[in-house]
């Protein structure tokens, strides 16, 4: 609305100068109007960029809050189950290693991992994950989350059912 008002005002001033015969002032005003339009366009582009970043931050915050709630529920369930911490850690360690082996196998089948399938998320595995993510248009953060797992699980050999992405992310975060 302000931009429209400014353009109308500029046109009125421009027509006043043309009637009075001040062509040099008219030319100067025309150049000023063009400069202001350029600045307005630049500012509008910056605002759009900031709005895009803000919506991305809000989305990430919502995902993180959801993950925190899931972890709280899981901890409460574990505390209720009455299992000893040693047994839980052993089970978690075994599950984590199994998930990493599955990830390494998928990466190898996809042609991104050349190392041994050992269940250790080392430098080679993280590098292969990032390369796979980049090649598939995903955020190359080295974390196998839901989107990465959806793309990666297409490379499972032997017809096994893929593990839930939340389990992989959880195991990676608890290790």
| pLDDT band at residue 131 using 50, 70 and 90 as cut-offs | very high
Mean pLDDT over residues 18-38, rounded? 78
Q: Among 3.30.70, 1.10.240, 1.10.101, 1.10.1760, name the CATH number for the domain at 85-174.
A: 1.10.101
Express as a percent the part of the chain with pLDDT over 70.
Answer: 75
CA distance 56 to 108: 32
pLDDT band of 61, cuts 50, 70, 90? confident
The answer to whether 83 and 64 are in contact (CB under 8 A) is no
Which residue has better confidence, 153 or 23? 153
Q: Which two tokens mark 172?
A: 């990676």
Sign of CA dihedral 47, 53, 57, 63: positive
The tokens of 43 are what?
A: 């500012």
**Cβ atoms of residues 157 and 109 within 8 Å:** yes
Q: Largest Cα–Cα distance of the chain, in whole Å?
A: 93
pLDDT surpassing 80 at residue 16 = no
| Per-residue pLDDT, 82 | 52
* Average pLDDT over every residue of 43-70: 85
Q: Which of 72, 62, 98 is nearest to 171 (CA)?
A: 98
């Amino acid at each position: 609305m302000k931009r429209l008002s400014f353009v109308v005002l500029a046109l009125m001033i421009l027509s006043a100068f043309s009637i009075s015969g001040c062509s040099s002032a008219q030319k100067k005003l025309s150049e000023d109007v063009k400069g202001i339009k350029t600045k307005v366009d630049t500012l509008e582009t910056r605002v759009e960029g900031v709005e895009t970043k803000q919506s991305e931050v809000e989305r990430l915050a919502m995902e993180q809050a959801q993950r925190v709630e899931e972890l709280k529920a899981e901890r409460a369930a574990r505390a209720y189950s009455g299992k000893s911490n040693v047994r839980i850690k052993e089970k978690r360690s075994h599950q984590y290693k199994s998930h990493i082996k599955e990830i390494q196998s998928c990466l190898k089948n996809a042609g991104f991992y050349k190392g041994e399938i050992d269940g250790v998320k080392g430098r080679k595995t993280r590098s292969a994950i990032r390369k796979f993510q980049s090649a598939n248009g995903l955020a190359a953060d080295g974390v196998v989350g839901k989107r990465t797992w959806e793309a990666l699980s297409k490379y499972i050999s032997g017809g096994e059912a893929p593990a839930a992405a939340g389990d992989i992310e959880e195991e990676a975060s608890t290790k």
